[in-house]
Amino acid sequence: MSHGWAGQILIVKLDSGKTRRLTSQAYVKKFLGGRMLSARLAWDFLPPGTGPMDPANPIIISTGPLCGTIAPTSGRTVMSMVSPVPYPIPWYTHSTLGGWFGPQLKFAGYDALIITGAASEPVWLDICDQEVSIHPAKELWGLDALATQEAIQTHNPHAQVMCIGPAGENQVAWATVQHDFDCAAGHSGFGAVWGSKRLKAVAVRGTGQVRVAHPDQLLEEWRKTGKYTLSPEHAFMRYSEEKGKLPGNAEVGPVCSQSCVNNCRAGKYLVASDGHKIETFCIGHLFSGFLDTAYQKPGIKLKVPPSKQYPYGSTIGMIELFNKLGVDFWMRITMQPWFTALKHAGVDWLRGSPIDPDDYQWFSNFVNDLASGRGLGKIFAPGLARALDDLADELPEHVLRLGKEMVSFFGFQAHREGRFWDRTPLPYWIISAMMYISESRDPTIGSHGLLLLSEIQAVYGVEGVKDKFRVLAKKVWDDPQALEPDYHFERKAKLAIWSQRNHMLIDSLPMCDFSFPRLVKPLASWEEWVTTADICGDLDLDRRLLNAVTGESYTRASLNLASDRAFNIERCLLARAGRTRKLEERLASHFNLPNRDDDSKMSSKEFHKMMDVYYMHRGWDLKDGWPRKETLINLGLEDVAEELEVMKASKTDG
C-alpha cells in the first residue's frame, strides 16, 4: 500500500521533547485517512476521562490518500481532539481546514501527526522531513496569527504553518487554529487546547512526493472535471434568470486549498474601509453583507431580532481582525443578534460593561476583549452556553432561552436546522435533526451535497423542484419519494446515513464538501437548468480518484463499510465521554419551534420516535444510544465492542 499514503505517523511529546514513528499501513487498511484515521488513533491514544485542557489530550492532525496529489480539492487537513466547546460535557470531535499544510505533511513523509503532553514554556514545532525539533516560542507568544506565520516563514519561507493567535493563548473556547490567511480549524475551539499545551505553532516542510499508482487515469479524471468551473452544488443557484448566464463568471476567486480546480466564488478579494484588499474565503464573503438573522413566529415568545448591518468596508476589516486574533468568525452570527436581543430587553449594561451591538466599533472591541479574556469578553470566553449558566440570575428568562437555542446543539451554533439562519424547509431539517442527535459537532457543514437541495426548494418551491428531485431520488436512493416534504422517518434515516457516510469519506480522502459528493451536475446556463430533467451528478468520481491514486479496487460498498466503521468509533468515543440518549433528547425543544420557511415542526413525541428509527437503522441500543455489540463486531471492531461492554456493565453497576 505504498501508493497514496506516506507510510508513517509521527508522535511528538511536548513535555519530554521525544518523538517516535509508527507505520501507518496497519491503520489505513481499515481507516483510509483523515477523519477515519483520526477516530481510530483517538481510540488508541486518548485516555478515557481526558478533559480538553489535560496534557493527555492528543492533538491529532491527519491527511488522506488523495492529499498531495492533483485530485481535485484534495489539499485539506483534518484536526481532532477533545474539544472545550461541547456542553454540558466536553468530548472528542473534529474539524477540517483547507490550505497547503496537509500536502506538506504528506511530502514530509507522514499520514498523521500526534502531539501529546504540554510544554512548560511556549514552544513551536518544526518538521522538515525526518528532522523534528521543538523551539522556544517566547518571542512569538502574544503575536497575532498572521504575524506568527510571517515570523516563522522568515526563517523557512517554504514551510507551511498552523498557529494560534491571542485567543488560543488565553484558552478562549471560540479560539481557532489558523493557517495561511483565512483557513482555520474554527468551530471546535481547538486553539484553546493548543494554548493549554503552550503550543504556538507547527511548521512543516516536505521534500518528498506522493506516489500515484495510475497517473494517466488520475490525470484523465482531473481533465474531465474541468478547471475554474463552479462547484456543482452552487452552479445553477448563481444563474441570472433574466440574462441566462452566470453573473461575473469571468472573475476567478482565490483558491483556498492545494489542488482545487473550482471557481466556487465562495471566496474573493474584498476591500476594507481603508482601501487595502483582503483575501477571504467562504465564511468571510458570506458574512461580509447583511446578517439575515430575524426570526419571529406568531405565538412563539422566542424572537431573534434583525442585526445591524455594519458598513461593508468595516465588516471586511472585522474579518481580518477575527483571523489575526484566532477567533471563530461564526461567533458573530450568534453573539451579535443575541446582544441585540439583550438590548431590546432593556439590558444596556452587563457587569459594568455597556451593550451596544449596533455599533461596529463596540463589537470590534468586544472581539478584542474576548481574545484577551478581559472585560465583557472574559464572561463569554468559555462559550455562550456556559456563560448563560453564569448569568442565569441576572438576565430575563426569554433572553436566556434564546441564547440556549442559538447554541442548542451542545454548545455549537445552530446551523441548517431550519429555524434561525438557513433556509432549510421540510424534509431537510429532519435529516439535520438526525445528524445532530448522532454526531459530535455541527455535522451539516460537511453535508452540503444533500442539504443544499433545500436551498433550491426554498427558492423554487416544492412544485418547482418535484419532478427533478423525484428523478434524482430514484437514481441515487432507488426511491422517488425520498425527498418528499413529509415526516417519513424511515426514508429520512436512509438519507441521513447516506449523507453521513459521504461526509465521513470526504473528510477522510480528504476533499472539499462543497464539491463532493457531486450530487448535482454542473449546468452551463439557466435554460439548461430549466430543461434538464436528470440533474444527477457524477457520484462515483471520488471512488475513481481514490482507486487511481492508490491502485486499490475499492467498491462503494467497501467505502460505506469503512465510513460506518469510523462513524461508530466516533460514537463510542462519545459514549466514553458520557453522552447518552437522555442528553440528546434535549434537542427536541429546538425542533418544537416552527420552521422559518414553512412553519413545519416536530412534537417531543415525534422527536423521540425519530430517534428510535434512526438508532435502529444504525444498529444502536434504543435505551442509551450506544452501538450494539453485534454492530461493532460486524464492523470489525471487536476490541471496541469489548471495551464498550465493560463501560455498560460499569454504568449498570454504578
Domain ranges of the chain: 8-205, 227-231+266-404, 428-653
**Residue for grid cell 423554487:** 460
End-to-end CA distance of the chain: 46
- Note the Cα 406 to chain centre separation in Å: 17
Instruction: Examine the pLDDT at 248 and tell me if it is beyond 50.
Output: no
Residues whose CB falls within 8 Å of the CB of residue 591, separated by 6 or more in sequence, listed in order: 417, 429, 433, 601, 602, 607
Euclidean distance between CA atoms 283 and 97, whole angstroms: 12
User: What pLDDT is recorded for position 650?
Assistant: 84
pLDDT band at 247 (very low <50, low <70, confident <90, very high): very low
By the 8 A CB rule, do 279 and 269 touch? yes
pLDDT on residue 130: 96
Residue closest to 83 by CA, chosen among 202, 199, 191: 191
Mean pLDDT of 393-410: 95
- Evaluate if residue 327 carries a pLDDT over 50: yes
Per-residue model confidence (pLDDT) at position 260: 87
* 238 confidence band (pLDDT: 50, 70, 90): low
Q: Are 522 and 232 in contact (CB under 8 A)?
A: yes
Average pLDDT over residues 244-256: 56
Protein fold of 8-205: Aldehyde Ferredoxin Oxidoreductase;  A, domain 1 (3.60.9)
Query: Has this prediction a pTM greater than 0.75?
Result: yes
Please compute the mean of the pLDDT values over residues 360-381 and round it to a whole number. 97
Class of domain 227-231+266-404: mainly alpha
Q: What percent of the chain has pLDDT over 70?
A: 92
Distance CA 46, CA 39 (A): 10
Rounded to 5°, the CA angle 457-312-145 comes to 95
pLDDT for 242 equals 46
Residue ranges of E strands in 208-309: 268-271, 277-280
Q: Residue 273's pLDDT is what?
A: 80
Written as one string, the DSSP assignment of 585-654 is GGGHHHHTSPPTTT-----HHHHHHHHHHHHHHHTB-TTT-PBPHHHHHHTT-HHHHHHHHHHHHHHHH-
Per the prediction, the chain carries an average pLDDT of 91
**pLDDT tens digits along 22-75:** 999 999 999 999 999 999 999 999 999 999 999 999 999 999 999 999 999 999
Cβ distance 209 to 107 under 8 Å?
yes
Give pLDDT, residue 279. Answer: 74
* Fold of the domain spanning 428-653: 1.10.599
Yes or no: say if 325 and 165 are a contact pair by the CB < 8 Å rule: yes
pLDDT of 236: 59
Question: Which residues fall within 8 angstroms of residue 495, CB to CB, at 6 or more apart?
Answer: 431, 450, 477, 482, 483
pLDDT in tens, 118-140: 999 999 999 999 999 999 999 99
Greatest alpha-carbon pair distance for the chain in Å reads 69
Q: Is the pLDDT of residue 93 over 60?
A: yes
Residue 129 confidence (pLDDT): 97
- Kindly tell me if the per-residue pLDDT of 364 is higher than 80: yes
* Confidence label for 539 from pLDDT (cuts 50, 70 and 90): very high
